[in-house]
Amino acid sequence: MSALVVGVPSEIKDNERRVALTPDGVVELVHDGHQVLVQAGAGAGSRFPDDEYAAAGAKVVPTAEEVFAAADLVVKVKEPVPAEYDRFRAGQQLFTYLHLAADRGVTEFLLERRIDSIAYETVQTADGRLPLLTPMSEVAGRMAVQAAAHHLENPAGGAGILLGGVPGTPAAKVLIIGGGVAGTEAAKIALGMRAIVRVLDTNPSRLAYLSDIFGGRLDLVTPNRARTAAYVAEADVVIGAVLVPGAKAPKLVSRDMIATMRPGSVVVDIAIDQGGCFETSRPTTHSDPTYVEEGVVHYCVANIPGAVARTSTLALTSATLPYLVRVARDGVVGAAKTDPALRLGLSTVGGDLVSQPVAEAHQLPHTDPAVLLAAR
């Protein structure tokens, strides 16, 4: 495929300060013969000034409209929001987090505008790893405990409990639902803060792995409905860290379960990008991060890593750049043809929805990507 114009607009979700490409990434793309357009100020929230992008070989332009108008491939961090829809051209290419199973509006927009898109969160290697989701899951898992600890404080609306307690007082009980990457990182921080930590996961192999790495310091349990209900009722903090790749998160904690928690307890729903795993969850923002349901403080920020933008940008772009180089070289369709990991990340091609979990979530027609790619 011929050289592309790669566009990097500023993110406009609430308090989203990450950027999809660092100046180092610009150097790689320019070396490969591509032109890179960066919106002025796009990297400011992550402390990458415009002059660093210009020195790396990017063309810095004043507005998002100029980026979208010229770009063959748009690279973002978060999914498009309605204010951006009209900036996309029909047939453009997009590489970003999408979380389409939780958002029919974005799904329909991509199909109507015939965008070729790959979702970071469903790029999957042969060993089952999700390399572009992992760094942000690590950040979100660690920050979930920080958020919970803060919101247990009285001024933040919590019950006035110190997560680790002090000698002579009980530590808080932290229940983590899901022992994947985010849940594991949450457990590390919760244990480090001297909380009493329990992790629920349905995968016996994962529980065995956690037992090994934590040396028996965690209470590890295979959940069922009754166990989950009992443990939620006991907990001061419940962290939802459930992931079904590409699909909407299952609702594992009901409103009735939430209602059994002590007033001022805290729940953190890391799965909110995929619709949330608590029945009482709804997306919040860094500007207004919490609300109270059934007497329990809910922290359901949909872009948790955006609060530590420089760390998150460096971690994310280190993971995405090798894949971005392939997408820029071959285009979304060409890269999906040659790279099995990117093929699994393929979401929409033209007007076709090729992600089966998304099609099932919204009851939309699904096109087999193998058939579609063979025809292009």
Residues catalogued as catalytic: 99, 273
Are 36 and 52 in contact by the 8 Å Cβ rule? The answer is: no
Q: Count of alpha carbons within 13 Å of 125, Cβ hemisphere only?
A: 9
* Nearest-angstrom CA–CA distance, 189 and 163: 11
Beta strands in 155-221 (DSSP E): 173-177, 196-200, 219-221
Q: 244 by DSSP, 3-state: which?
A: coil
Q: What tokens does 263 get?
A: 């007033």
- Tell which residue, 27, 53, 25, has the closest CA to residue 39: 53
Q: Which residue has the tokens 């310091």?
A: 217
Q: Which residue has the tokens 């002590």?
A: 262
* Nearest-angstrom CA–CA distance, 367 and 376: 14
Cβ neighbours, 10 Å, residue 215: 7
Q: Which residues pair with 61 in a beta bridge?
A: 39
Is the alpha carbon torsion for 28, 33, 39, 41 positive or negative? positive
* Nearest-angstrom CA–CA distance, 44 and 190: 32
Backbone angles phi, psi at 371, to 5 degrees: -65, -45
Q: Which residue has the tokens 């495929």?
A: 1
DSSP 8-state secondary structure symbol assigned to residue 292:
E
Vertex 328, ends 326 and 329: CA angle to 5°? Answer: 65
* Nearest-angstrom CA–CA distance, 95 and 339: 15
